[in-house]
């Protein structure tokens, strides 16, 4: 994979831009979640802070998909980076006496991310020069989010504690500007030429076209359902700062360790899983199902760990499954979907997972205030286990059809 970054300059610049941006995101998240909890003492508002990273993306996705398919993806990333940097500076207006700016400006950043992620996901296949480069690029880009979460959350806890939360928000703004510089270095078009400058856009008609395409293809439907299955249990992630502070008695550093454990697993999972998938959609679907089960069962164990460090180990293993499922479902959609509609399908995928994660995160916050964080994680892990069994059962006919070469 490192050879890929040496030999393909465009993928290298896109990868580095994503690395820098993700690092800033997680510096900001640790500071934001900790500030909300310190200012309000509310598990529910911590969940609202987590939702501010996801729900606005869902709301923006119906517009994001057509925009990503209709306009030059590289130029779009340049404009979005500037807008996100300005919004990140808006986080500086928050304080322990006034937390609402956190939700407003983080919501803006997240809404803009609804354009960024599909633009990158839809563009990667066009920057890869061979199927093997594409497979390696997908594993590499998929692991980036997790690795940067591991580093960004762990370092973010230390950085916020040492230099202050305002410094973390400034670091996030700077990361968007640095990412802009690397996006500017990309030279290969990030979409096929005939789709790069189609200005006529009808959001409703464009998204209906993508929905019709998905309904007709059982494989695409199965891949879209995969992240939703993961997201049912992912609401528990919003409670990791509460677990760190209230159960284990750690502050920002404990939050950083738990989020870092999540990132470590999510970073290694895609690299391991891509070797087993071998570019075959039947294997992709099978791994997605069992990875979801691994995630949910291990979170069930994590809920009752007696020590923080034991929880760190179990959560990191759980996210080997979560990271595999997330990245492989994206890879499958990239393989299965033609370029002219890929941006809308990727935006739809992002919309589904952000909606389900927003609902489960808010619900987890309410349940946590009522029964405590340990029982909340237990309940959502059980729900995710049931969803995993249903997913594995329903995708078996699709997998058999793929293995026979019928889909």
List, in sequence order, the alpha helices (H) in 198-307.
Answer: 203-216, 218-234, 240-242, 252-277, 281-302
DSSP 156-168: HHHHHHHH-HHHH
Separation between Cα atoms, residue 378 and residue 260, nearest integer Å: 21
- From first to last of the 407 residues of the chain, give the pLDDT tens digit: 678 888 999 999 999 999 898 888 878 887 888 888 788 878 788 778 877 877 888 889 888 888 988 889 999 999 999 999 999 999 999 887 888 888 899 999 999 999 998 999 889 999 998 888 988 888 888 888 777 777 776 787 788 878 888 999 999 999 999 999 999 999 999 987 755 445 566 677 877 888 888 888 999 999 999 988 888 887 788 788 888 888 888 876 787 788 788 888 888 888 888 888 877 899 999 999 999 999 999 999 988 999 999 999 999 999 999 889 988 998 999 889 888 888 888 888 888 888 888 888 888 888 888 898 899 999 999 999 999 999 999 999 999 999 887 55
Separation between Cα atoms, residue 86 and residue 105, nearest integer Å: 9
| End-to-end CA gap in the chain | 30
Domains of the chain plus CATH, in order, are 2-186+204-403 (1.20.1250.20)
279 φψ region: left (φ > 0), alpha (ψ -120 to 50), beta (else): left
Q: Are 51 and 106 in contact (CB under 8 A)?
A: no
Half-sphere exposure (Cβ direction) of 126: Cα atoms closer than 13 Å: 25
Instruction: Let me know the angle formed at the C-alpha of 71 by 174 and 108, rounded to the nearest 5 degrees.
Output: 40
Residue 243 DSSP symbol: I
């Amino acid at each position: 994979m490192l050879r890929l970054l040496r030999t393909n300059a465009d993928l290298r610049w896109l990868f580095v831009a994503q690395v820098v941006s993700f690092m800033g995101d997680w510096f900001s998240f640790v500071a934001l979640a900790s500030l909300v909890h310190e200012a309000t003492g509310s598990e529910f508002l911590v969940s609202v802070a987590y939702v501010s990273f996801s729900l606005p993306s869902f709301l923006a996705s119906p517009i994001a998909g057509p925009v990503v398919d209709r306009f030059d993806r590289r130029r779009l990333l340049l404009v979005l980076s500037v807008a996100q940097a300005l919004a990140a500076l808006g986080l500086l207006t928050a304080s322990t006496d006034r937390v609402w700016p956190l939700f407003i400006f983080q919501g803006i950043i997240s809404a803009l991310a609804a354009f960024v992620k599909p633009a990158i996901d839809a563009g990667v296949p066009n920057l890869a020069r061979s199927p093997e480069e594409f497979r390696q690029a997908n594993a590499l880009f998929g692991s980036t989010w997790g690795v940067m979460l591991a580093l960004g959350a762990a370092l973010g806890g230390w950085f916020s504690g040492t230099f202050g939360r305002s410094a973390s928000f400034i670091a996030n703004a700077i990361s968007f500007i640095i990412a802009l510089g690397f996006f500017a270095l990309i030279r290969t078009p990030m979409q096929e030429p005939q789709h790069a400058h189609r200005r006529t856009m009808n959001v409703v008609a464009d998204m209906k076209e993508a929905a019709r395409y998905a309904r007709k293809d059982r494989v695409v439907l199965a891949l879209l359902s995969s992240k939703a299955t993961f997201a049912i249990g992912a609401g528990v992630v919003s409670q990791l700062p509460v677990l760190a502070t209230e159960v284990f008695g750690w502050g920002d550093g404990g939050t950083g360790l738990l989020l870092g454990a999540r990132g470590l697993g999510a970073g290694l999972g895609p690299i391991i899983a891509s070797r087993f998938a071998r570019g075959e959609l039947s294997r992709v679907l099978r791994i997605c199902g069992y990875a979801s089960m691994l995630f949910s069962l291990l979170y069930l164990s994590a809920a009752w760990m007696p020590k923080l460090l034991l929880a760190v180990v179990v959560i990191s293993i759980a996210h080997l499954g979560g990271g595999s499922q997330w990245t492989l479902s994206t890879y499958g959609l990239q393989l299965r979907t033609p370029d002219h509609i890929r941006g809308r399908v990727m935006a739809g995928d992002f919309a589904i997972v952000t909606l389900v994660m927003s609902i489960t995160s808010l619900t987890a916050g309410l349940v946590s205030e009522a029964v405590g964080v340990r029982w909340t994680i237990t309940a959502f892990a059980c729900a995710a286990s049931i969803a995993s069994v249903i997913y594995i059962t329903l995708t078996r006919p699709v997998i058999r059809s793929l293995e026979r070469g019928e889909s």
